[in-house]
Amino acid sequence: MLPDHVTLVDVGPRDGLQNEKEPVSAAHKIELVHRLQAAGLREIEVTSFVSPKWVPQMADNREVMDGIERRPGVRYSVLTPNLKGLDAALATRPDEIVVFGAATEAFSQRNINCSIAESFERFRPVVETAHANGIKVRGAISCALGCPYQGEVSADEVERVVRLMKDIGVDHCGVADTIGVGTPRKVQAAMERALRHYPIAEVSGHFHDTYGQALVNIHACLQMGIAIFDASVAGLGGCPYAKGATGNVATEDVLFLLNGLGIETGIDLDRLVDAAAFISGVLGRKPVSRTGNALLAK
Ligand code: HMG
Ligand code: MG
């Protein structure tokens, strides 16, 4: 049976914009967050506190967090790979932080410059400090369905990282298909490993649409009862350390699917398309989303 309600986490301001070649101003990022919350998004991944040498687009993290007019009931999250990132993030009062590991050693090295084991040694004090400050910690497992450097990734490799997350007290387990190569059975196998260690209310899917599989993968997760998904307005995005990986699945496309299935989200499609049109205008291109473009053409 499918869930009655689904939570969509819009990661557009962070995952979506981190890879843009031209700088996007803090004011435009703030306006994007405002339009997303106006559309009814209740979870927004705003920025990341990573090295500005590695990801220059997120160097304005503090300005963006400080500039948002916060709405009650909306959760604002940020990525923090280490204690330095967390310390900087804490000053901006995030509701949630995200630590991001990888299912493969090769991606861990390329993305965060350390092994999987080392990354968890870095995350451990991040989780402890976040909890001491009353902040929930989400974990993301990149490359859970395939890796641009290693190739195939097994469910065992995914479960190894799920266990590491559980061991250090990460509250939520996000399974991410960074390069969009997952297909429904493989996705269900990876999710099943996450569900061995985390309750269903703390497992989410993060899909990229590189091979056009994101919506069927989300449907496969819905069939398992999973009810939290990351998505990116206008289909923005791509990871700087995963060449050829196109955007995250577009929030508008996921919402169209959920609306059609009668699943409640609290999000208004027209206002979401407005947010997609806004950021696409800033970037000087059309949204990548099918739904966004169809509705904008009307
Ligand atoms: P490192 O070079 O190994 O770190 O980078 P370090 O501790 O040796 O420090 C080197 C320099 O970075 C020092 O500065 C530090 O101060 C600075 P210097 O002395 O050279 O001037 N530094 C920092 N500055 C700001 N904030 C920090 C920070 N930490 C160190 N937090 C590090 C390690 C993790 C920092 C680096 O590799 C990095 O920033 N990587 C970027 C990772 C990233 O943002 N990737 C994209 C997000 S993940 C993703 O998109 C996937 C996901 O969406 C899921 C999916 O789609 O699959 C989550
Ligand atoms: Mg992503």
pLDDT interval class at 1 (50, 70, 90): confident
Q: 248: pLDDT confidence band, cut at 50, 70 and 90?
A: very high
Q: What is the pLDDT of residue 287?
A: 87
Distance 52 CA to ligand 2 centre (A): 18
Mean pLDDT computed over 199-218:
97
User: What tokens does 50 get?
Assistant: 């990573």
**∠265-193-240 over CA atoms, to 5°?**
70
Who lines ligand 1 at CB under 6 A?
Answer: 15, 18, 48-51, 54-55, 81-82, 84-85, 100, 111-113, 140, 142, 176, 178, 206, 239-241
pLDDT for 239 equals 65
pLDDT reading at 238 higher than 80: no
Q: Given this model, what pLDDT does residue 192 score?
A: 98
What separation in Å is there between the alpha carbon of 265 and the centre of ligand 2? 21
**Which has the minimum average pLDDT: 185-199, 225-239, 251-265?**
225-239
pLDDT tens string 111-142: 999 999 999 999 999 999 999 999 999 999 99
Contact between 173 and 194 (Cβ < 8 Å): yes
Q: Report ipTM (2 d.p.).
A: 0.98
Q: Kindly give, in sequence order, each residue whose CB lies less than 8 Å from that of residue 72, ignoring residues fewer than 6 positions away.
A: none
Percentage of the chain with pLDDT > 70?
Answer: 97
For residue 240, pLDDT beyond 80? no
pLDDT digits (tens, 9 = 90+) for 30-77: 999 999 999 999 999 999 999 999 999 999 999 999 999 999 999 999
The pLDDT score that the predictor gives to residue 244 is: 65
Q: pLDDT tier at 9 (50, 70, 90 boundaries)? A: very high
**pLDDT confidence of 247, banded at 50, 70, 90?**
confident
| Confidence band, pLDDT 50/70/90 cuts, at residue 91 | very high
User: What's the pLDDT score for residue 41?
Assistant: 98
Q: Which candidate, 76, 27, 28, 78, places its Cα nearest to that of 55?
A: 78
Taking residues 105-110, report their average pLDDT: 97
Cα of 112 vs centre of ligand 1, distance in Å, is 6
Q: How many other C-beta atoms can be found within 10 angstroms of the C-beta atom of residue 23?
A: 12
pTM beyond 0.90: the answer is: yes
Tokens of 241: 């350390």
Q: Which of 9, 14, 20, 8 is nearest to 285 (CA)?
A: 20
* Known active-site residue 114: no
DSSP string, 99-147: EEEESSHHHHHHHHSS-HHHHHHHHHHHHHHHHHTT-EEEEEEETSS-B
Give per-residue pLDDT as tens, 137-163.
Answer: 999 999 999 999 999 999 999 999 999
| Three-class SS of 79-100 | ECCCHHHHHHHHCCCCCEEEEE
Query: What is the dihedral sign for C-alpha 49, 50, 51, 55?
Result: negative
